[in-house]
Amino acid sequence: MIDVYIVGIGQTNAGEHWDRSLRDLGVDAMLAALQDAGVGQVETLYVGNMLAGELVAQAQLGALLADWSGLGCIEAIRAEAADASGAAALRMGYLAVASGASDLVLACGVEKTTDADSESVDQAWSSGMDGEYETSQGLSMPAVGGLLMRRYMHEHGVGREAFAPFAVNAHANGANNPYAMFQRPISIEAYAHSGMVADPVGMFDVAPLCDGAAAVVLCAADRARELAAKPVRVRASAVATDRVALHSRTDPLSLQAAHLSALKAYAQAGVGPHDIDLFELHDSFSVMAALSLEACGFAERGHGTDLGLDGEIGLQGRIPISTMGGLKARGHPLGATGIYQVVELAQQLRGEAGANQLDCRLGMAQSLAGSGATAITHILEA
Amino acid sequence: MNVPRYWRTESARYRLLGETCRQCGKPIFPPRDVCPHCTEPQQEPRTFAGKGEVYSYSTVHQAPAGFTDYGPYTVALVKLDEGPLVTAQLTDVENEQVYVGMPVEMVTRKIKEEGANGMIVYGYKFRPLIQQV
């Protein structure tokens, strides 16, 4: 397979965009990425989006965004993998370049949640679970987080406070990210006293759904050297799935898809967890951050929370996570999130992360769908 | 309204009708065409007894659309005595009194109403198992 490089990145602020529609946001991010890459046209567009059909009654997003952004009659298709749709679009773009099928690809993740009321958005978000036997029972996504968090607390003998560092770290980093939805640090006290969403998941345990769009331009090595001063190499791209319903898993606290996806990615890149300088993980819930760290080999089972308590997840720690705010503070614009993670990795690897800048060479991004039934992992190199 | 969909899943929702795999003998709930354990595509129907214990639980304070009239309610993963985990609401119990390991039994209850003129959907919920002294 041909080596794939990121030569342009773009993102809108993540948050509430009352004055911008789904297509407006998509175009904003796409034009920003094209400008960053210094190109005016691409051959292929992949759009990652989860809920446009449910919330804004819009399908055929590939053609719509190609049309609305002035890209013309190019190949354009939407990729969907629930919360991991953005990463799915990146995966398709990666394959298009790596296979030689396309020389210049744009992958854009976009989501518009604020055109609908929050109860409807919650219901739509739960379509990433098993509709027949989970959602139909009144299970919401935050309740899935609650089931996992309660079981984790029971099996591993920890209290809610063990999860506070994930929220505190995310907000501390988000404070220095001008694109983040929340740019305000929070305290451990605030975490402890937060209201419950789905006990024991509190307000600071669940990432905020919002609007947003992010995009990357991909090409092969020759073109990358022409276009970019600091092309970012995609060292690995790997997808794995698991049984969709949490109740179908043999061990609900083991994120099997995340584990397999990470193993495949490590093998592709010829690296191990110890080589990873930063990890943009899927902190849709604080417990998912702990479980992701365990699934990807950064902590033993039941000890993901220790990494938070020991300060290892901070910018000075052994495995910095959510370095630009993560899903918790930057925001979780569902289908766009997977691209935001990769844009933020690219910022770090290009030295453009500002106050949160790490000295880094190899970064990993992992996007999870629903309660973890699809995991899409990318490893990027400076 | 999803009448055909609810009609299809009635046996599972009202009676915990699941399957035993003909090849590996393992219990399957909810019923499905391909055994999740051994991928054999032939199963025998079997009804689960409805006894089990709470594996995990969460009290929903911010309910999604369709369930906003019923909150706060507690949803749980129930481990049936036969082995499978089931997602279901708990009933006939105060949210604060639920604990991991609590013995429960299945009952048929109203899950939700789809508006004033829509379907009333019934299904399984679980209540604390009253131990006979």
Residue to substitute from B60, B67, B86, interface A, most A β-carbons within 10 A: B60
Based on the number of CB atoms within 10 Å of its own CB, is B69 exposed (0-12), middle (13-18) or buried (19 or more)?
exposed
A38: phi > 0 → left, psi -120 to 50 → alpha, else beta; which? Answer: left
Q: Is A266 a residue whose pLDDT tops 80? A: yes
Total structural domains in chain A?
Answer: 2
Whether residue A172 is found in the same domain as residue A35: no
| B79 contact partners, CB below 8 Å, separation of at least 6 | B52, B53, B54, B55, B85
Q: Residue A18: which domain range? A: 4-117+210-232
Mean pLDDT lowest for which of A353-362, B1-10, B66-75? B1-10
Mean of pLDDT values over A259-275? 98
pLDDT at A63: 98
As a three-state string, the secondary structure of chain A is CCCEEEEEEEECCCECCCCCCHHHHHHHHHHHHHHHHCCCCCCEEEEECCCHHHHHCCCCHHHHHHHHCCCCCCEEEEECECECHHHHHHHHHHHHHHCCCCCEEEEEEEECCCCCCHHHHHHHHHHHCCCCCCHHHCCCHHHHHHHHHHHHHHHHCCCHHHHHHHHHHHHHHHCCCCCCCCCCCCCHHHHHCCCEEEECEECCCECCECEEEEEEEEEEHHHHHHHCCCCEEEEEEEEEECCCCHHHCCCCCCCHHHHHHHHHHHHHHCCCHHHCCEEECCCCEHHHHHHHHHHCCCCCCCCHHHHHHCCCCCCCCCCCECCCCHHHHCCECHHHHHHHHHHHHHHHHCCCCHHHCCCCCEEEEEEEECCCCEEEEEEEEC
Picking from A126, A136, A197, the nearest residue to B61 by CB comes out as A197
pLDDT at B116: 85
Mean of pLDDT values over A174-200? 97
Mean of pLDDT values over B22-48? 92
pLDDT at A208: 98
Whether residue A221 is found in the same domain as residue A243: no
For residue B77, which residues of chain A lie inside 8 Å, CB to CB? 147, 151, 246-247, 252
User: Where is B6: in which H helix or E strand?
Assistant: helix B3-8
Q: Per the domain annotation, does B32 fall within a domain?
A: yes
Helix (H, G, I), strand (E, B), or coil: what is residue B55?
strand
Whether residue A217 is found in the same domain as residue A77: yes
Q: Per the domain annotation, does A79 fall within a domain?
A: yes
pTM beyond 0.95: the answer is yes
Taking the CA atoms of A80, A81, A86 and A92 in sequence, report the sign of the dihedral they define: negative
CB B77 to CB A195 under 8 A?
Answer: no
pLDDT in tens, A129-150: 999 999 999 999 999 999 999 9
Question: How many angstroms separate the CA atoms of A22 and A110, rounded?
Answer: 7
Q: Which two tokens stand for residue A176?
A: 């220095």
User: Where is B7: in which H helix or E strand?
Assistant: helix B3-8
Q: Per the domain annotation, does A131 fall within a domain?
A: no
Nearest CA in chain A to B6: A132
Q: Is B132 a residue whose pLDDT tops 70? A: no
Q: Is B1 a residue whose pLDDT tops 80? A: no
Q: Which two tokens stand for residue A380?
A: 């990027």
pLDDT at A77: 98
pLDDT at B118: 87
CB B60 to CB A146 under 8 A?
Answer: yes
Nearest CA in chain A to B83: A250
Whether residue A51 is found in the same domain as residue A73: yes
Whether residue A314 is found in the same domain as residue A171: yes
Question: How many angstroms separate the CA atoms of B13 and A170, rounded?
Answer: 41
Mean of pLDDT values over B92-99? 95
Nearest CA in chain B to A141: B64
Whether residue A162 is found in the same domain as residue A222: no
Residues of A with CB under 8 A from a CB of B: 117-120, 122-123, 125-126, 130, 132-134, 136-140, 142-151, 154, 195-201, 243, 245-248, 252
For residue A143, which residues of chain B lie inside 8 Å, CB to CB? 58, 60, 75
pLDDT at B77: 98
Binned at pLDDT 50, 70 and 90, residue B22 comes out as very high
Whether residue A218 is found in the same domain as residue A276: no
pLDDT at B42: 82
CB A245 to CB B9 under 8 A?
Answer: no
Question: Which residue do the tokens 């991909």 mark?
Answer: A218
pLDDT at B130: 84
Mean of pLDDT values over A107-119? 97
Report how far Cα A261 is from the mean position of its chain's Cα atoms.
Answer: 14
Residues of B with CB under 8 A from a CB of A: 5, 9, 12, 30, 36, 55-68, 70, 73, 75-77, 84-89, 95, 100, 111-112, 121, 123
- Interface A:B, Cβ pairs < 8 A: 112
pLDDT in tens, A33-51: 999 999 999 999 999 999 9
Taking the CA atoms of B89, B94, B98 and B103 in sequence, report the sign of the dihedral they define: negative
Binned at pLDDT 50, 70 and 90, residue A106 comes out as very high
Q: Which two tokens stand for residue A18?
A: 């009352």
Whether residue A113 is found in the same domain as residue A144: no
Mean of pLDDT values over A211-223? 97
CB B60 to CB A123 under 8 A?
Answer: no
Q: Is A193 a residue whose pLDDT tops 70? A: yes
Q: Which of A296, A216, A152, A159 is nearest to A11 (CA)?
A: A216
Q: Per the domain annotation, does A61 fall within a domain?
A: yes
Picking from B12, B87, B123, the nearest residue to A139 by CB comes out as B87
Distance, first Cα to last Cα, chain B:
45
CATH number of the domain bearing residue A50: 3.40.47.10
DSSP state of B90: B
Whether residue A171 is found in the same domain as residue A287: yes
Q: Per the domain annotation, does A129 fall within a domain?
A: no
pLDDT in tens, B60-78: 999 999 999 988 999 999 9
Total structural domains in chain B?
Answer: 1
Percent of chain A at pLDDT exceeding 90: 99
Contact A12, A96 (CB under 8 A): no
Q: Per the domain annotation, does B133 fall within a domain?
A: no
Question: How many angstroms separate the CA atoms of B65 and A138, rounded?
Answer: 9
Whether residue A86 is found in the same domain as residue A197: no
For residue B9, which residues of chain A lie inside 8 Å, CB to CB? 132
Contact A148, A246 (CB under 8 A): yes
Mean of pLDDT values over A77-101? 98
Task: For A280, list phi and psi in degrees, rounded to 5.
Answer: -85, 90
Q: Which two tokens stand for residue B53?
A: 């214990």
Side chain identity, residue A141: M
pLDDT at B101: 97
Q: Per the domain annotation, does A14 fall within a domain?
A: yes
pLDDT at B133: 62
Q: Residue B57: which domain range? A: 3-128
Whether residue A217 is found in the same domain as residue A292: no
Q: Is A300 a residue whose pLDDT tops 90? A: yes
Mean of pLDDT values over B72-93? 97
Picking from A138, A149, A154, the nearest residue to B89 by CB comes out as A138
User: Where is B44: in which H helix or E strand?
Assistant: strand B43-47
Q: Per the domain annotation, does A70 fall within a domain?
A: yes
Q: Per the domain annotation, does B40 fall within a domain?
A: yes
Whether residue A81 is found in the same domain as residue A188: no
